[in-house]
């Protein structure tokens, strides 16, 4: 199953990441394709009941999702688990996770962070018998867009907290480096930011490379 998640607040007409994730989807041709739009249908932020239930689960060790209901003590915890379980189930069912992630204020959108906080429930992504990650065979394709230039060696490269965060997050979840693909389109706001004038050809090349890379990844 291809789980396709967009987190851009822009419409498709204005969003580079939405157009690029669609490029991947069309080339992939998945028969089983689930799409979540985190802007149109935001993931509710976690609450104290979520963290209380999470700590109780952590004290029990690795608890698979099917056994979490037995540890629920309040109606608020039940509500939090009922909100959380579908996101976890979707992720675990996916062979490929496709994420559209624009850079907002040097990092990832709050809409995506809300999904990350909710889906990363203690123990839910770990095999209770072996302790191994249940995402060890999942391919993750992250489509990033940045209005300016943040690539290695650029003057603003040290301000890219998007790429290292996503690498660290998925690595910590047990996604092997060879299964994690981060594809970035740079200078995507060259048409509206006067300080980027003269870099139109660099922006176009970056976008073309991103499209080509995604088309190749989709065919694998």
- Distance separating alpha carbons of residues 50 and 185, to the nearest angstrom: 36
Report domain extents, the chain: 2-218
* 176-208 per-position pLDDT tens digit: 999 999 999 997 887 766 677 767 778 789 999
User: Between the CA atoms of 15, 19, 20 and 26, what dihedral angle is there, to the nearest 10 degrees?
Assistant: 160
Query: What is the rounded CA–CA span in Å between residue 204 and residue 60?
Result: 52
Least confident of 30-39, 48-57, 65-74, 144-153: 144-153
| Per-residue pLDDT reduced to its tens digit, 23-61 | 999 999 988 999 999 999 999 999 999 999 999 999 998
- pLDDT value at 163 more than 90: yes
- State the Cα angle at 54 between 49 and 59, rounded to 5°: 130
CA separation for the pair 152, 148 (Å, rounded): 13
Assign domain 2-218 to its CATH architecture.
3-Layer(aba) Sandwich (3.40)
């Amino acid at each position: 199953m291809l789980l396709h998640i967009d987190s851009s607040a822009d419409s498709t007409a204005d969003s580079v990441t939405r157009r690029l994730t669609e490029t991947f989807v069309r080339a992939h041709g998945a028969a089983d394709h689930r799409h979540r739009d985190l802007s149109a249908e935001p993931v509710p932020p976690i609450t104290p009941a979520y963290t209380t239930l999470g700590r109780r689960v952590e004290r029990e060790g690795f608890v698979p999702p099917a056994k979490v209901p037995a540890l629920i003590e309040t109606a608020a915890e039940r509500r939090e688990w009922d909100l959380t379980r579908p996101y976890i189930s979707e992720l675990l069912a996916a062979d490929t996770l496709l994420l559209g992630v624009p850079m907002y204020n040097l990092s990832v959108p709050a809409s995506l962070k809300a999904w990350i906080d909710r889906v990363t429930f203690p123990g839910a992504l770990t095999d209770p018998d072996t302790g191994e990650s249940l995402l060890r065979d999942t391919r993750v394709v992250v489509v990033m867009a940045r209005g300016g230039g943040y690539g290695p060696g650029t003057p603003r490269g040290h301000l890219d907290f998007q790429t290292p965060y996503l690498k660290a997050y998925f690595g910590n979840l047990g996604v092997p480096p060879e299964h994690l693909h981060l594809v970035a389109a740079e200078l995507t706001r060259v048409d509206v930011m006067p300080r980027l004038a003269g870099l139109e050809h660099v922006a176009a090349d970056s976008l073309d490379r991103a499209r080509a890379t995604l088309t190749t990844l989709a065919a694998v």
